[in-house]
Structure 1
Amino acid sequence: MFLLCKVASLTLVAVLTLCGEVPAERIIGGHEVLKHSRPYMVLLERKLANGGTAHCGGFLVSADFVLTAAHCQAESYKVFLGLHSYHHLKRVQQLFVEKQFPHENYDDCLHINDIMLLKLNSSANITENVKPIALADNNNCSVCSVSGWGRTKINGSLSVILMEVNVTLIDYQKCVEMGMYCSSGEAGPAKGDSGGPLVCEDEKVHGVVSQNYKPNKNALRISMYTKIVDNRDWIDAIMKK
């Protein structure tokens, strides 16, 4: 699935980076999503400062706003709504971003406060295939799912279809210290999946896919998610303005 961060893509690594984490890179060990069963999903095609193109995930939270990860910042964006297969881009809604709102306290080294709102240049046409998703207002979640178009294998290519994987949240000291949700195991989000939603039992978004982390080369991969509930006031304030 297509998820790249501001400095480096969310990759699965066996050693720590200088800052300790890397953005999430792909959904591994998942399955194809039932077509258009996740109408809130967004694919972001990002134009970078160096002229290159990269991708991130995101999700529609209103007709005018998309929520994603702050490390997905770019010079400009093309937003695809109602997409299932990347081969059918002409059949979906394509919009652009009027303004980006990365969290003012985002730390691009540790990826703390890794969350960003994108104001669309025009309102999305709400249909059966394009609908916003509700945001969580509590921390009551344990079994969740993550969707995206990122890689499905470590050295594979990005997925052309929307994929999904189930994850179980864990108590992990580093995540507690950073104020993030975490899941562990090789099955989970990866490159191209950054900015995608962590959707739990109540069918609300509880987190934003942020980064992957390995304590050591033999340890299981830890996937980290920015908490929605801790950022509700910030989200609501920007959208109301």
Structure 2
Amino acid sequence: MTKSLITTALLTSALALTACSKVHNTEGTVQGQSFKGIINGETVSASDDIAKTTVQIFTFQVAHDDAGRALVRGVAGCTGTLLAEDILLTAAHCTTENPYYIILYFSNEAPKDFKAFMASINTNPLVRRVVGGKVGTQWPKLVSGKVGDWGDIALLKFEGGIPEGYQLAELLPAKEKLAVDQPITLAGFGITDGIKQTPSTQLLKVDVTILDPTYTKTEMVIDSGDKGPCHGDSGGPAYVTGSDGKKYVAGVTSRADVRNDPRGLCIGDTLYTKVQPHAAWIKRSMKSLQSPTFKPALIPQPQGG
């Protein structure tokens, strides 16, 4: 597995494709399902705890030519939440097999000039290199037609620590229960119009409610449509207020609810991976990623995904 962040050939290809790539979207599908950004949201101020825990993710969609050279076919944008000085929580579909093709950008504003951003990623002090990751145990087993319990959750290990001004988020404790109509705050860097594919220029958030907290054992449905997540918000946090008045991460943005948004146009409800059923997996995976004996490895992806 290559250890270079972005090779010369890779960077050249990425720059060539920037103009036509939907770099702020999580374009593409897994098993025919579209993935979901914040519509009708509000700007997250720099003093907001959400701004201090939320990070942009860029995943390079890479192919290899006959000579074995890595060529970028596109760049997909996602969102993640800081859990440790070197660990980010996101969706499994925001990962790719080779972790070195994923970078993190610590800024509450999206790159204004993506070509210039790409040219500077090896020296940009706000960019961090991903060196490993873990995906939910069900994710590598995902098959066509599976309705729920995708295991669409992931942890990314990165180098360089977190920049000044950032802090760690807390996961919803097991004792806290999720309920129908419970207020929930979503955040992300996704597009602001699912039809026009309008990219966001900054981190946004929106307050909505939980529609079904027990859609599956590991997933919940968020009441969205006229306001809520869209492409690029994938992997982003869903915050609820606990009984102690603190804000906790309860879920991770996964995908459109195909029952009322079959084309993934961000006009229906959204499925979120719940963190509570994955608490033991998160703890175990973080321990593995932070082990002194940690060695980078490929991130398992769905068969044919």
Determine the structure 2 residue equivalent to 1:222: 269
Aligned amino acid, residue 180 of structure 1 = E
Contact kept in structure 1, 2:59 and 2:103, CA below 8 Å = yes
Determine the structure 2 residue equivalent to 1:181: 220
Give the 5 Å matches for 1:46-85.
46-50=59-63, 51=72, 52-74=74-96, 75=98, 76-85=101-110
- Listed as ranges, the gaps of 5+ residues in structure 2 are 1-22, 64-71, 289-305
Matches of 1:135 and 1:92, distance apart in 2: 28
Q: Deviations over 1:67-110 (max 9, x none)?
A: 10001112411111243343397886211101021123212644
Distance of aligned partners of 1:134 and 1:162 in 2 relative to their CA distance in 1, 3 Å threshold: same
Give the greater-gyration-radius structure (CA).
Answer: 2
Counterpart selection for 2:250 from 206, 210, 218: 206
**Pairwise CA distance, 1:147:** 0.9
Contact kept in structure 2, 1:112 and 1:178, CA below 8 Å = no
Find the residue that maps to 2:93 and give its secondary structure: helix
Determine the structure 1 residue equivalent to 2:138: 105
**Pairwise CA distance, 1:36:** 4.7
**Pairwise CA distance, 1:178:** 5.4
Q: Deviations over 1:182-211 (max 9, x none)?
A: 112311111000000001113110000001
Find the residue that maps to 1:232 and give its secondary structure: helix
* Worse overlay, 204-213 or 29-38: 29-38
Question: What TM-score results when the alignment is normalised by the length of structure 2?
Answer: 0.66
Find the residue that maps to 1:39 and give its secondary structure: helix
Matches of 1:43 and 1:73, distance apart in 2: 13
Using CA pairs under 8 Å that are at least 6 residues apart, name the structure with larger relative contact order, 1 or 2. 1
- Listed as ranges, the gaps of 5+ residues in structure 1 are 10-17
Contact kept in structure 1, 2:55 and 2:82, CA below 8 Å = yes
Across the aligned residues of Structure 1 and Structure 2, the Cα RMSD in angstroms comes to 2.6
Give the 5 Å matches for 1:152-163.
152-154=192-194, 155-163=196-204
Question: What TM-score results when the alignment is normalised by the length of structure 1?
Answer: 0.83
1:171 counterpart = 2:212: yes
**Pairwise CA distance, 1:34:** 1.4
Find the residue that maps to 2:138 and give its secondary structure: coil
Matches of 1:2 and 1:85, distance apart in 2: 8
Determine the structure 1 residue equivalent to 2:7: none
Distance of aligned partners of 1:31 and 1:48 in 2 relative to their CA distance in 1, 3 Å threshold: same
Counterpart selection for 1:8 from 29, 34, 41: 29
Determine the structure 2 residue equivalent to 1:13: none
Find the residue that maps to 2:215 and give its secondary structure: helix
Matches of 1:104 and 1:185, distance apart in 2: 28
Matches of 1:108 and 1:71, distance apart in 2: 13
Q: Aligned pair count?
A: 225
Aligned amino acid, residue 153 of structure 2 = I
Matches of 1:53 and 1:40, distance apart in 2: 23
Matches of 1:216 and 1:62, distance apart in 2: 36
Determine the structure 2 residue equivalent to 1:190: 230
**Pairwise CA distance, 1:3:** 4.7
